Amino acid sequence: MTKTDWEEEDKMIREQFAALIEACPRCQTPENLKLVNKAFELAHEAHIGMRRKSGEPYILHPIEVARIAAEEIGLGTKGIVASILHDVVEDTDYTVEDLQSIFGEKIASIVAGLTKLEGVFDQSSSIQAENFRKLLLTMVEDVRVILIKLADRLHNMRTLKSMPEHKQLKIAGETLYFYAPLAHRLGLYTIKSELEDLSLKYELPQVYSDLSQKVKDSEEQHIDFIKSFKTPIESRLQSEGYEFEVIGRHKSIYSIWSKMQKKNLPFEEIYDVLAIRVIFTPKSNLPEKTQCWAIYSMITDIYKPKPDRLRDWVSTPKANGYEALHSTVMGPNGKWVEIQIRTKRMDEIAERGFAAHWKYKGQKEKESELDKWLEKIKESLDNPDADSLEFLDDFKLNLFASEIMIFTPKGEVRVLPKGSTALDFAFDIHTDIGYKCIGAKVNFKLVPLSHPLKSGDQVEIITSEKQQPKYDWLNFVTTAKAKTRIKNAFKEERKAIISKGEKILKDTLHQKKLTINSRILKKILEFHNISKRDELYFKIGKGTIELDNLPKILSAKSRNKWIRYWKLNFGKSTSDKEDKADQPKKKQLVLSDNEDQDNFTISDCCNPIPGDDILAVQDENDKIILHSRKCPVALKLMSSQGHRIISAQWESHKILSYLAMINLSGIDQMGIVSKITKVISEDQNVNMRSLNFESHDGIFEGKIYLYIHNTEDLNNLIFNIMKIKGVHNVTRQDRIKN
């Protein structure tokens, strides 16, 4: 680049920065302006020479993120400063300490929260999940961290075009999985919709472009309709002396698409693509709620309401702070139209979420629903040793859930995710009430803990001092809080059993003048087919593994080569005491997908596939051959060479495919073969190798060779082929030598 190019570019960057200041009225006081300028000069200098994938100077990204934070989220000076600096620590030589000495602790800690985690993670954890978790933790400290992160993500999504495709898919997926629900949960409706639409655009480009065209067409068709619909409403509100605005709003592309998916409907049959929104400035002398209902009453004088479609989020706002009165009315052309009634304040909160909420805070006496939500997140983050992936799953469940309102016996309202049970409610009140819960009364009727709650239920929890948390409770709780608490209860118990088991092993070894070392542990672990030390201690502590045969295990020579590949189990069920007492334990081979295929052969006399009962025969060269237990050859081997037989079992079988063959017959008719092959080719779990059909005297017979994962998939396929008209018989053939 020549000197003039640099100058040109610097000029352009400074213009962008000036536009940002323009968009942020709160940054314009002399003191604030000084701070924002300082941040800009530092970031500009730090990112100098760096470029984005698009070729743009990097600094334009933080400037744009700050503009989104100011304009679309409504953050103030500190938020803008932190936005400008958000990539400085991650991508340049500056440290959090540097920022702290220049900008103070608050801004430095927000930037620290926005910096990705570094370092090594063990394989069981996901760096991705750890980062999300860190983000959530800092969010509770200062919600601006997540708001800036969402602005950052939004700008990255808007400029995703210049990324390579595999990155586009990863980023779009992450956005849909995590950021969009989070934006929704924080009440940032506009940002949430844009994130979803952009994700769809990159994940399913064709679907996206088709739908955006359809939405555009329908918007044009709706112009006249909206006009005729709103005219009588407008004149009525005017005559009542209201200051207001009536607008028509279309559903976002993503929400249309997800409704089409959920209800399995074409675009044309989604009836609520359009909503009419009435936004008014309340008259000072009456409560907002009263006025919302007054306007509802005026509108339903004009258009008849659908009785079951009234939603009152004015009396009880949604957990993300959303307030409005929704109803569906019959429009002039006989079509249902959704009406949303809100004040200007409610509208701003609905569109801009948290930041707008802040602005109005103090105006309302009651604790804001959003603050309560943040409090809940704090609680569910309480547990520092929860597995991060598990945590993220639980957390996400709650992000997505719609809500129900439950009343306590005293009439207090608690908002829970849809699908919550009486036990969730008990944990929502207090952890100890959850642990001691034995049942509940829902609307004065006694119900079990697993009873699913409905919005409006009044619930009284019944506890008993004798009650203990049960592991199977996990099967019927929905909330992250209940799940975490139940798991915690068992973590404590598990820890105790593990240390008990360790002590038993230590003592047993001690009697033989031995101590635990890695060589001894390895032998025991291998013998019991356990990969983790804690798992072994746990089983010893529980008594499911006994140590009687310890000398034998320790003196055993290292096994044949193939044993390295196969996990060995001993006995059918270790807890089956009678079995264990006198009979010698039999080895069992467990075959799973991730094993090395070279070490076994599937016998071609019976061609077993996963799901079949099988056994393994070890030949002279230590090769393993698998037979079906029904196989005559195997039966013979069993009776003659029992010492070579190893009982075997399939464990998981979703990756590798095996050859199988089916025979079919039926009435020959036009197109029957293509119908059959269509069913097979549409089945994702099956690949066809070859097929052979013969027809004579109106009857057909066929043989099809398939590659298939397991018997379950095969049975499903057979079932589906049987449904074809004309097919009379489908059977699997075991002997498939050809």
Q: What's the CA gap between 482 and 380, in Å, rounded?
A: 9
Of 614-643, which residues contact Mn ion (CB under 5 A)? none
Of 227-266, which residues contact Mn ion (CB under 5 A)? none
Within a 13 Å sphere around the CA of 726, how many CA atoms are in the beta-carbon half?
A: 14
Stretch of 84-92, 386-394, 464-472, 702-710 lying at the interface with Mn ion (CB under 5 A)? 84-92
User: Among residues 87 and 394, whose Cβ is nearest to Mn ion?
Assistant: 87
Closest CA to 343 of 383, 297, 291, 269: 291
Instruction: Tell me the residue number closest to Mn ion, measured at CB.
Output: 152
> Smallest distance, Å, CB 109 to Mn ion?
17
> Smallest distance, Å, CB 87 to Mn ion?
5
Stretch of 49-57, 79-87, 101-109, 635-643 lying at the interface with Mn ion (CB under 5 A)? 79-87
> Smallest distance, Å, CB 86 to Mn ion?
6
Pseudo-torsion of CA 558, 563, 566, 570, nearest 10°? -60
* Residue ranges in 104-251 assigned as alpha helix (H): 105-114, 127-141, 144-158, 165-174, 180-185, 189-203, 205-239
What type of residue sits at position 475? N
Specify the residue for token string 């008719």: 669
713 lies in the site for Mn ion, by CB under 5 A: no
Stretch of 82-90, 295-303, 392-400, 618-626 lying at the interface with Mn ion (CB under 5 A)? 82-90
Q: What's the CA gap between 720 and 718, in Å, rounded?
A: 5
User: Among residues 87 and 428, whose Cβ is nearest to Mn ion?
Assistant: 87
Which structure tokens are listed for 725?
């008209």
Task: Kindly name the residue from 90, 393, 546, 651 that is annotated as catalytic.
Answer: 90
DSSP 597: G
User: Among residues 49 and 411, whose Cβ is nearest to Mn ion?
Assistant: 49
From the CB of residue 479, how many other CB atoms can be counted at a distance below 10 Å?
A: 25
User: Among residues 174 and 245, whose Cβ is nearest to Mn ion?
Assistant: 174
> Smallest distance, Å, CB 152 to Mn ion?
4
The pairing of strands 437-442 and 587-591 is unpaired
Is 534 labeled as catalytic in the residue annotation?
Answer: no
> Smallest distance, Å, CB 72 to Mn ion?
16
What type of residue sits at position 252? S
Task: Kindly name the residue from 7, 15, 91, 269 that is annotated as catalytic.
Answer: 91
Helix (H) or strand (E) holding 550: helix 550-555
Which structure tokens are listed for 67?
């503009």
User: Among residues 116 and 364, whose Cβ is nearest to Mn ion?
Assistant: 116
> Smallest distance, Å, CB 393 to Mn ion?
26
User: CA torsion sign, 46 to 104 to 182 to 245?
Assistant: negative
Query: Judged by CB under 5 A, how many residues of this single chain contact Mn ion?
Result: 2
What type of residue sits at position 581? A
User: Among residues 152 and 338, whose Cβ is nearest to Mn ion?
Assistant: 152
Is 90 labeled as catalytic in the residue annotation?
Answer: yes
Residue from 64, 72, 87, 288 touching Mn ion (CB under 5 A): that is 87
323 lies in the site for Mn ion, by CB under 5 A: no
Of 97-136, which residues contact Mn ion (CB under 5 A)? none
Distance of CA 456 to the CA centre of its chain: 28
Stretch of 147-155, 197-205, 392-400, 405-413 lying at the interface with Mn ion (CB under 5 A)? 147-155
Stretch of 144-152, 166-174, 510-518, 696-704 lying at the interface with Mn ion (CB under 5 A)? 144-152
Which structure tokens are listed for 290?
């009263």
User: Among residues 87 and 130, whose Cβ is nearest to Mn ion?
Assistant: 87
Closest CA to 149 of 198, 110, 204: 110
152 lies in the site for Mn ion, by CB under 5 A: yes
| Backbone φ, ψ for residue 540 (5° rounding) | -65, -45
Stretch of 145-153, 244-252, 366-374, 709-717 lying at the interface with Mn ion (CB under 5 A)? 145-153
| Backbone φ, ψ for residue 303 (5° rounding) | -120, 135
Q: What's the CA gap between 479 and 422, in Å, rounded?
A: 11
> Smallest distance, Å, CB 14 to Mn ion?
20
User: Among residues 152 and 502, whose Cβ is nearest to Mn ion?
Assistant: 152
> Smallest distance, Å, CB 137 to Mn ion?
19
User: Among residues 83 and 340, whose Cβ is nearest to Mn ion?
Assistant: 83
What type of residue sits at position 344? K
Q: How far is CA 258 from CA 179, 261, 393, 454, in A?
A: 17, 5, 21, 24
> Smallest distance, Å, CB 114 to Mn ion?
8
Question: Coil, strand, or helix at residue 535?
Answer: helix
**CB contact set of 417 (below 8 Å; sequence gap of 6+):** 397, 398, 401, 402, 403, 404, 424, 478, 479
Stretch of 148-156, 189-197, 376-384, 395-403 lying at the interface with Mn ion (CB under 5 A)? 148-156
User: Among residues 152 and 428, whose Cβ is nearest to Mn ion?
Assistant: 152
Contact 292, 314 (CB under 8 A): yes
| Backbone φ, ψ for residue 542 (5° rounding) | -75, -15
| Backbone φ, ψ for residue 387 (5° rounding) | -60, 135
> Smallest distance, Å, CB 317 to Mn ion?
32
Closest CA to 663 of 727, 607, 612, 611: 727
Of 351-410, which residues contact Mn ion (CB under 5 A)? none
Contact 246, 278 (CB under 8 A): yes
> Smallest distance, Å, CB 121 to Mn ion?
22
User: Among residues 89 and 273, whose Cβ is nearest to Mn ion?
Assistant: 89
| Backbone φ, ψ for residue 12 (5° rounding) | -60, -40
Active site residues: 90-91
Interface residues with Mn ion (CB under 5 A)? 87, 152
